[in-house]
């Protein structure tokens, strides 16, 4: 444990790390400032009304909303929620099934996978209809925009920055002796080559710390401007919330019941696991490739090349390969705005993003363990 703390000290006393974190916070703050003042005011008013009256649209809610002092935003909200119906009572997942099976029609295997997924989704629609999840107000007309900004734009930025910090931090620890030309000396010590294993464990344990260092200040700035006090218990499957993929709009259909607070907690938990997966990917490259700079190049090629491969498979309509490539950590990261939903072409399994991150952790852990074993037998003097 003392060696792990020593490695953490080297990592967290690195000035470049704190410069990167400061620049990340600045970038995220600028992102938040791009939101319009009208959206912020409307969201805060809707949150205050929801906290005062309750979230679900019913007669008492409408009467209470109408009785509140009139403002321009409140009038818009009242007009939006008047006459709403439980959309899940009549929603048919066959629309999605037909659309996506048509897209992948040249691959019978992909067609069967898509058909199975949307058949499984139909039971979720029935459940959402029974629980009246669609009748939750959330933030009314600004729900979709605010949700996609927080869980799509801002969360993607936070997870991307945390992933970059975890990968570069891992490569820094693994390449520290090489950069200071002390690798042979370190390998000849009592700890010897086991030091690499300690470095991997230290970097892996530091990955959720990187996420916290990026997420806490960024989310602090966001929630200081947007009051979520009245919407934490709202369902994210409110009919005001929706997803658009390939110009097809669908409700925000999740595989589990999520409130806004629960969805944020689940996204951060999965984000921590994803950050750890990126750290393990960097560890695999750092152990296999002696030079930290060359390892960074290989890591960049793997990430960007993986994205390029997914895009190429889609363009070539090789749908089985496309779906399998969506299990990559980089693709899971890009889909964070739709986590825990059906994800369109990017998934064939319920909860695929969660399964993908779990599988990535297992495979990368096994690969890193084998690479460390290989390093234990390698001649470091050549």
Is the residue at 382 inside a domain? Answer: no
Is the residue at 94 inside a domain? Answer: yes
Does pLDDT of 1 surpass 70?
A: no
382, burial (CB in 10 Å: exposed 0-12, middle 13-18, buried 19+): exposed
Among 159, 156, 179, which Cα is nearest to 295's? Answer: 179
> Hunting for tokens 């949150």 — which residue is that?
47
pLDDT confidence tier of residue 202, bands split at 50, 70 and 90 = very high
pLDDT at res. 346: 94
pLDDT at res. 76: 75
Please give the DSSP secondary-structure letter assigned to residue 161: H
Is the residue at 214 inside a domain? Answer: yes
Q: What is the pLDDT of residues 87-131, one digit of tens each?
A: 999 999 999 999 999 999 999 999 999 999 999 999 999 999 999
pLDDT confidence tier of residue 291, bands split at 50, 70 and 90 = confident
pLDDT at res. 128: 94
Q: Is the pTM of this model over 0.95?
A: no
Count Cβ atoms below 10 Å from residue 67 Cβ, excluding itself. 9
Does pLDDT of 167 surpass 60?
A: yes
Is the residue at 163 inside a domain? Answer: yes
Residue 268 domain boundaries: 2-377
Q: What is the pLDDT of residues 225-277, one digit of tens each?
A: 999 998 999 999 999 999 988 889 999 999 999 999 999 999 999 999 999 99
Query: Considering its fold, how many domains does the chain have in total?
Result: 1
DSSP string, 272-311: HHHHHHHHHHHHHHHHHSSSHHHHHHHHHHHHHHHHHHHH
Q: Which helix (H) or strand (E) holds 166?
A: helix 155-179
Q: Taking residues 279-293, what's their average pLDDT?
A: 91
Is the residue at 237 inside a domain? Answer: yes
The full length of the chain comes to 382
Handedness of CA 115, 102, 326, 214 (dihedral sign): negative
Q: What is the pLDDT of residues 300-353, one digit of tens each?
A: 999 999 999 999 999 999 999 999 999 999 999 999 999 999 999 999 999 999
Tokens of 257: 């019941």
CA 55, CA 230: separation in Å to the nearest integer?
8
pLDDT confidence tier of residue 182, bands split at 50, 70 and 90 = low
Annotate 33-94 with three-state secondary structure: HCCCHHHHHHHHHHHHHHHHHCCECCHHHHHHHHHCCCCHHHHHHHHHHCCCCCHHHCCCCH
Q: What is the pLDDT of residues 31-64, one digit of tens each?
A: 999 988 888 888 888 888 777 777 788 777 777 8
Is the residue at 271 inside a domain? Answer: yes
Among 228, 179, 192, which Cα is nearest to 47's? Answer: 228
Q: Where are the beta strands (DSSP E) in the chain?
A: 242-245, 248-251
CA distances from 255 to 69, 85, 118, 351 (A): 39, 22, 11, 7
């Amino acid at each position: 444990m003392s060696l792990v703390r020593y490695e953490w000290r080297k990592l967290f006393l690195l000035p470049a790390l704190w410069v990167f974190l400061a620049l990340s916070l600045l970038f995220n703050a600028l992102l938040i400032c791009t939101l319009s003042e009208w959206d912020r005011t409307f969201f805060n008013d809707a949150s205050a009304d929801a906290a005062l009256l309750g979230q679900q649209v019913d007669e008492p809610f409408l009467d209470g909303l109408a009785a509140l002092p009139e403002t321009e935003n409140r009038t818009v909200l009242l007009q939006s929620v008047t006459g709403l119906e439980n959309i899940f009572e009549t929603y048919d997942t066959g629309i999605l099934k037909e659309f996506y099976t048509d897209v992948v029609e040249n691959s019978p295997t992909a067609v069967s996978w898509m058909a199975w997924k949307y058949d499984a989704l139909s039971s979720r629609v029935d459940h959402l209809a029974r629980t009246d999840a669609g009748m939750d107000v959330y933030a009314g007309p600004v729900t979709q925009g605010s949700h996609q900004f927080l869980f799509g734009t801002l969360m993607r930025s936070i997870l991307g920055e945390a992933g970059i910090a975890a990968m570069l931090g891992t490569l820094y620890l693994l390449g520290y002796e090489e950069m200071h030309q002390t690798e042979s000396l370190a390998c000849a010590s009592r700890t010897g080559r086991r030091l690499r294993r300690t470095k991997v464990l230290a970097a892996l344990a530091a990955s959720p710390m990187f996420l916290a260092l990026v997420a806490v200040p960024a989310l602090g700035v966001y929630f200081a401007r947007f009051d979520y006090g009245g919407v934490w218990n709202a369902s994210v499957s409110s009919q005001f919330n929706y997803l658009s993929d390939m110009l097809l709009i669908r409700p925000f259909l999740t595989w589990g019941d999520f409130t806004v607070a629960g969805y944020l907690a689940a996204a951060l938990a999965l984000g921590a696991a994803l950050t750890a997966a990126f750290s393990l990917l960097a560890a695999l490259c750092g152990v296999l490739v002696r030079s930290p700079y060359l390892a960074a190049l290989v890591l960049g090629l793997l990430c960007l090349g993986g994205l390029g491969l997914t895009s190429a498979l889609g363009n070539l309509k090789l749908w089985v390969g496309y779906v399998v490539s969506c299990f990559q950590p980089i693709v899971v990261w890009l889909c964070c705005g739709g986590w825990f939903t059906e994800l369109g072409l990017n998934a064939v399994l319920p909860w695929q993003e969660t399964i993908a991150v779990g599988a990535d952790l297992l495979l990368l852990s096994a690969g890193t363990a084998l690479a460390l074993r290989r390093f234990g037998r390698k001649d470091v003097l050549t």
